[in-house]
């Protein structure tokens, strides 16, 4: 009897081929937009489309004999990791062929940052980049926000059991939000909500006098919680009305998209009583109020401006969008410490936002509270509940382990950057912002700067942090364990 391989490479390459073809379709969309707004970038985008499409067809057709059932747990993990690497490698083509970015490392950094919705940039003059390339740059956010693999699952229901593995390894799902086969019937609906929210934001931005091109680019970056803007000054370049609109949509994008599905199904009460959503809103309200007072009292800002800047920056950071209307490094120390704290919080599970996620902090807090109570009352029998569900010990251990692992990776990566003669503030700020998919950091990579001046090696470390953070650590790190490669 022929021994089956541990990893069906053919099945992995077949799926990567399909996903690359999907990427080429998005590139074709960028070609059409470039034709309307900027003829100079039509040729590089068209050539990028052709190269990407041919690559996808070669991968798919060369492995056509592999059946979809070959994609099991191990293969799904490889596909998910391989997808982010392969679409980023091909996503550099528009930058390089147009001359917008002249070296591969910087183009790769910008592309990985786009697809992972990090929003950290190496571009020093964004407004000098051709509009067609800027559109592709924003579109990478939108593709990565809800996830190209989630789109594949939504479009191809015949994936059957393999789609469960793909979704669990790709999507931002935590604890009580675990995916089951019935949820895949909702995947298409969630993507439609994503599209609808994007269109709605474009309409509101147009009411504020923003051009259709810039409205689309800003909406892509907002709903995907990405942070790439078309202006050097980010959202500070636009009116207060625009800033309020983007604040609202960042908040909506940072919430669990499956809650919107519940609302559409008429379960408004259940959605509004979601514990994570309520804590997410409370954190924003409290942090925003505190920052408003700080800016009003210490910075002598007008009350409305202080309120607007405070809540914009709070929502931008907690949702990991990374837009800016002010340089928070120029705020009093209390102000930027609040921003730093929010970087470790993250958005909601099931959202397009990054970070540790509010749900993990909530459950970990409940877990610790019961632990302290048991110290005082050794015979106490108590359980951790979330949304009226009792969580088992395995789930609680996973949450605690994830938070510890997240901090451990953050510390190690920060130390690695420090060894490259990068100052500590820039090192930890760059790592936490890339892990959380936020965008601006601290030190030399703050809101008024970018990542262009970092050493090449540091950029690759940070790209690794972007992908690891986007895949929530476990999916990426497991491939480096001996257990993964054992039968």
Q: Are 111 and 91 in contact (CB under 8 A)?
A: yes
> Which of the listed ranges 10-14, 104-108, 114-118, 265-269 does the model predict with the highest average pLDDT?
104-108
pLDDT category, 484, cuts 50, 70, 90?
confident
Asked if residue 38 is part of any domain, the answer here is: no
173 with 179: CB under 8 angstroms?
Answer: yes
3-class DSSP state of 389? strand
Opening angle at CA 446, ends 444 and 447, nearest 5: 140
For residues 461 and 456, give the distance between their C-alpha atoms in angstroms, rounded to a whole number: 9
How far CA 184 is from CA of 7, 144, 150, 162, 472, in Å, comes to 25, 19, 9, 12, 21
Q: Which residue has the tokens 């804590």?
A: 279
Mean pLDDT of 338-364: 90
More confident residue, 103 or 380: 103
Is a pLDDT exceeding 60 seen at residue 347?
Answer: yes
**For 139-167, how does the pLDDT look when each residue is reduced to its tens digit (9 = 90+)?**
999 998 876 666 666 555 555 445 555 55
Domain count, the chain: 1
Query: In this structure, are residues 451 and 442 in contact, taking their beta carbons and an 8 Å threshold?
Result: no
Q: What is the pLDDT of residue 157?
A: 56
Residue 337 domain-assigned (yes or no): no
Tell me, yes or no, whether 395 lies in a domain. Answer: yes
Q: How confident is the model at residue 448 (pLDDT cuts 50, 70, 90)?
A: confident
The confidence band for 1, taking pLDDT boundaries of 50, 70 and 90, is very low
Amino acid 168: pLDDT:
56
Comparing 89-93, 181-185, 270-274, 423-427, the range with the smallest average pLDDT is 181-185
Residue 288 has pLDDT above 60, yes or no: yes
The pLDDT assigned to 178 comes to 46
Q: Is residue 278 part of a domain?
A: no
Angstrom CA distances, 64 to 16, 67, 448, 478, stand at: 12, 8, 49, 28
* Rounded Cα gap, residues 202 and 478, in angstroms: 40
Give the model's confidence band at 73: pLDDT under 50 very low, under 70 low, under 90 confident, else very high: confident
* Residues contacting 258, CB < 8 A, separation 6+: 177, 183, 186, 190, 350
Average pLDDT of the segment spanning 300-320: 95
388 vs 59: CA distance, rounded Å: 47
Is the model more confident about 41 or about 474? 41
Which DSSP state fits 100? Answer: S
Q: Mean pLDDT, the chain, as a whole number?
A: 87
pLDDT tens digits for 22-44? 899 999 999 999 999 988 999 99
Residue 317 belongs to some domain of the structure: no
What counts of helices (H) and strands (E) characterise the chain?
21, 2
Q: What percentage of the chain carries pLDDT values higher than 70?
A: 89
Q: Which two tokens stand for residue 278?
A: 């309520």
Average pLDDT of the residues in 192-204: 94
Residue 438: closest CA among 337, 343, 367:
343
Q: Which residue has the higher pLDDT, 333 or 180?
A: 333
Task: Identify whether 443 is part of a domain.
Answer: yes
Q: What is the number of other CB atoms lying within 10 angstroms of the CB of residue 389?
A: 12
Q: What does the chain come to in residues?
A: 487
What pLDDT does 252 receive? 95
214: its two tokens: 């810039």
Q: Residues 27, 30, 31, CA angle at the centre, nearest 5°?
A: 90
Residue 313 pLDDT:
96
Which band of pLDDT confidence, cut at 50, 70 and 90, is reported for residue 447? confident
Residue 446 clears pLDDT 50, i.e. is over it: yes
Going from the C-alpha of 237 to that of each of 229, 232, 241, 455, the distances in angstroms are 10, 8, 12, 30
pLDDT for res 476: 85
- Does any domain span residue 411? yes
pLDDT at residue number 375:
82
- Residue 71: its pLDDT value, please? 67
For residue 445, give its domain range.
372-485
Return the pLDDT at 246. 97
More reliable by pLDDT, 251 or 370: 251
DSSP at 266: T
User: C-alpha distances in angstroms, 274 versus 28, 142, 278, 368?
Assistant: 40, 26, 6, 21
Nearest Cα neighbor of 138 from 77, 201, 182, 186 is: 201
Higher-confidence residue: 299 or 381?
Answer: 299
Say if 414 falls within a structural domain: yes
Q: Has residue 389 got a pLDDT over 90?
A: no
Question: pLDDT exceeding 90 applies to what percent of the chain?
Answer: 57
pLDDT in tens, 217-248: 999 999 999 999 999 999 999 999 999 999 99
With contact defined as beta carbons under 8 Å apart, do 436 and 464 qualify?
Answer: no
**Backbone φ, ψ for residue 390 (5° rounding):** -85, 130
283 has pLDDT over 50: yes
pLDDT score recorded for residue 177? 44
């Amino acid at each position: 009897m022929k021994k089956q391989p541990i990893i069906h490479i053919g099945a992995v390459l077949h799926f990567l081929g399909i996903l690359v073809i999907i990427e080429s379709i998005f590139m074709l969309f960028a070609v059409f937009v470039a034709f309307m707004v900027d003829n100079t970038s039509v040729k590089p985008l068209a050539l990028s489309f052709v190269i990407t499409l041919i690559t996808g067809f070669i991968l798919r057709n060369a492995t056509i004999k592999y059946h979809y059932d070959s994609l099991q747990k191990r293969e799904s993990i490889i596909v998910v990791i391989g997808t982010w690497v392969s679409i980023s490698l091909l996503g550099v083509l528009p930058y390089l062929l147009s001359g917008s970015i002249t070296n591969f490392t910087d183009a790769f950094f910008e592309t990985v940052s786009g697809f992972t919705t990090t929003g950290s940039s190496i571009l020093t003059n964004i407004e000098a980049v051709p509009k067609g390339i800027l559109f592709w740059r924003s579109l990478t956010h939108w593709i990565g926000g809800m996830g190209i693999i989630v789109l594949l699952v939504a479009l191809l229901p015949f994936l059957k059991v393999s789609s469960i593995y793909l979704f669990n390894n790709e999507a931002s799902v935590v604890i009580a939000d675990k995916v089951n086969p019935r949820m895949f019937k909702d995947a298409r609906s969630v993507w439609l909500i994503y599209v609808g929210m994007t269109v709605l934001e474009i309409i509101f931005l147009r009411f504020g006098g923003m051009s259709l091109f810039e409205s689309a680019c800003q909406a892509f970056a907002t709903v995907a919680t990405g942070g790439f803007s078309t202006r050097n000054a980010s959202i500070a370049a636009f009116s207060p009305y625009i800033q309020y609109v983007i604040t609202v949509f960042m908040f909506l994008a940072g919430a669990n998209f499956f809650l919107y599905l519940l609302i559409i199904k008429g379960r408004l009460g259940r959605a509004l009583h979601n514990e994570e959503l309520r804590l997410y809103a409370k954190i924003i309200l409290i942090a925003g109020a505190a920052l408003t007072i700080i800016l009003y009292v210490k910075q002598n800002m007008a009350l409305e401006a202080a309120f607007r800047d405070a809540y914009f920056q709070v929502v931008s950071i907690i949702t990991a969008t990374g837009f800016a209307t002010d340089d928070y490094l120029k705020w009093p120390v209390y102000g930027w410490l609040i921003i730093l704290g929010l970087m470790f919080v993250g958005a909601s599970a099931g959202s397009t936002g990054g970070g540790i996620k509010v749900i993990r902090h909530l459950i970990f807090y409940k877990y610790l509270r019961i632990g302290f109570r048991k110290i005082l009352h050794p015979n106490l029998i108590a359980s951790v509940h979330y949304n009226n569900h009792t969580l088992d010990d395995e789930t609680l251990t996973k949450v605690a382990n994830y938070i510890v692992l997240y901090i451990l990776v953050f510390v190690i990566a920060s130390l690695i950057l420090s060894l490259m003669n990068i100052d500590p503030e820039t090192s930890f700020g760059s790592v936490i912002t890339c892990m959380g998919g936020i965008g601006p950091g601290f030190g030399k990579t703050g809101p008024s700067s970018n990542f262009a001046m970092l050493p090449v090696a540091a950029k690759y470390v940070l790209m690794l942090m972007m992908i690891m953070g986007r895949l929530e650590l476990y999916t990426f790190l497991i491939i480096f364990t001996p257990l993964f490669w054992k039968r």
